[in-house]
Amino acid sequence: MDATSIITQVSRDDEQQLNTSFPSEKVNNVDRLKPPKRGFFETIFCCWRNGRTKSNQSGTPIDGSITPPPIQGQPRYLLPQIRPSDMYKKCMVIDLDETLVHSSFKPIPNADFIVPVEIDGTVHQVYVLKRPHVDEFLKKMGELYECVLFTASLAKYADPVADLLDQWNVFRARLFRESCVFHMGNYVKDLNKLGRDLQKIVIVDNSPASYIFHPDNAVPVKSWFDDVNDSELLDLIPLFEKLSKVESVYTVLCNSSSQSQLTSSVSHHNQQELQQSQQQQQQQQQQQLQSNSSDVNNT
């Protein structure tokens, strides 16, 4: 087995291809979806194959979604019975690579984790970087949602990474490549197989190929590699706080205008915080000036 085949991830070059090669309406709405690269990491980290998916040839509906293949026989759900503590929470399906972390077989001097992975009798070192604010994000999502890690990478890599990453035991379950549906060259995460109400599931993923069966359940995130100034996860927290309180995620995510409004609300929230901070600074400066003026008059 090729060592690079155990991880499913994207590349910087493929960031430019998504808007022209992927049919989902979500791509145009959010302008932040990124496809995974088929290359060095294509077996451990893989989700996407090159080539367009054309609606008139593949049966893809106009909105870009694809009907999942029928389940033969009795349905076997991927998730265990919901815990009593999560009974009234929605389910959040969270991707790993380029969503929460970025990994490389090439040495990274400032790696947060170094994970040994045995492949065909040889141990390879995988260097892992944590996305900025990932700890705060996971802690908060664990309070609001029943969180599930769902990655197209292999368990021999992703499981030890999750052990190191999930310090609050947020993930109620971990699903790996074998839980994906291999459809038209892509590893797809079929939310129908989770055993949860689709109206109460949201998937957070940087690759639109992963949620092609359920684009209206998706909150796309920008692919992350090494930008230390990235604030994507932090900026999304207000959105997910709001989403956790609605009756159905479709009332928020099923159309472009709603998603646009939610994305705008995150930006607006940050602007409000900045304005409040500036106002507080101005008030403090005025108080200081008044205090200095009073001291001068008393003198």
293 versus 44: the higher-pLDDT residue is 293
pLDDT at 103: 98
Query: Comparing C-alpha atoms, which of 241, 252, 242 is closest to residue 218?
Result: 252
CA 201 to chain centre: 13
CB 77 within 8 A of CB 198: no
Residue 201: phi and psi, rounded to 5, are -120, 135
pLDDT of 124 over the 80 cut = yes
At 114, which CATH number? 3.40.50.1000
Q: Please indicate, yes or no, if residue 96 is contained in any of the structural domains.
A: yes
pLDDT at 61: 39
Where does residue 186 fall: left (phi above 0), alpha (psi -120 to 50 degrees), or beta otherwise? beta
pLDDT at 154: 96
Question: CB atoms < 10 A from the CB of 21, how many?
Answer: 15
pLDDT at 31: 36
Q: Please indicate, yes or no, if residue 184 is contained in any of the structural domains.
A: yes
Q: Please indicate, yes or no, if residue 42 is contained in any of the structural domains.
A: no
pLDDT at 76: 82
263 versus 90: the higher-pLDDT residue is 90
Mean of all residue pLDDT scores within the chain: 79
Q: Please indicate, yes or no, if residue 164 is contained in any of the structural domains.
A: yes
Residues noted as catalytic: 95, 97
pLDDT at 286: 72
Q: Please indicate, yes or no, if residue 57 is contained in any of the structural domains.
A: no
E strand spans, 40-106 = 44-45, 90-94, 101-104
Query: Comparing C-alpha atoms, which of 196, 202, 220, 180 is closest to residue 68?
Result: 180
Q: Please indicate, yes or no, if residue 232 is contained in any of the structural domains.
A: yes
Out of 70-74, 142-146, 180-184, 239-243, least confident range: 70-74
pLDDT at 254: 80
Q: What digits encode the pLDDT tens for the residues 171-217?
A: 999 999 999 999 999 999 999 999 999 999 999 999 999 999 999 99
**Domain with 276 in it:** 81-286
Q: How many structural domains does the chain have? A: 1
Report strand pairing: 181-183 vs 186-188.
antiparallel
Q: Please indicate, yes or no, if residue 233 is contained in any of the structural domains.
A: yes
Q: Please indicate, yes or no, if residue 60 is contained in any of the structural domains.
A: no
pLDDT of 52 over the 70 cut = no
**pLDDT > 70 fraction of the chain, expressed in percent and rounded:** 63
**pLDDT > 90 fraction of the chain, expressed in percent and rounded:** 58
Q: What digits encode the pLDDT tens for the residues 2-22?
A: 666 777 776 666 655 554 444
Question: How far apart, in whole angstroms, are the C-alpha atoms of residue 203 and residue 154?
Answer: 19
